[in-house]
Amino acid sequence: MTKKYPESPCIGVCKMDDNNRFCLGCARALSEIVSWSKLSDKEKAEIYEKLEERKSSIAIS
| Mean pLDDT in residue range 17-41 | 93
Q: The whole model's pTM is what?
A: 0.84
pLDDT at 60: 63
| Mean pLDDT in residue range 3-9 | 84
pLDDT at 24 over 90: yes
Look at residue 44 and give its three-state secondary structure.
helix
Name which of 18, 8, 11 is nearest 48 in CA terms: 8
Percent of the chain scoring above 90 in pLDDT: 64
Look at residue 34 and give its three-state secondary structure.
helix
Residue 11 vs residue 61, higher pLDDT: 11
pLDDT at 21 over 80: yes
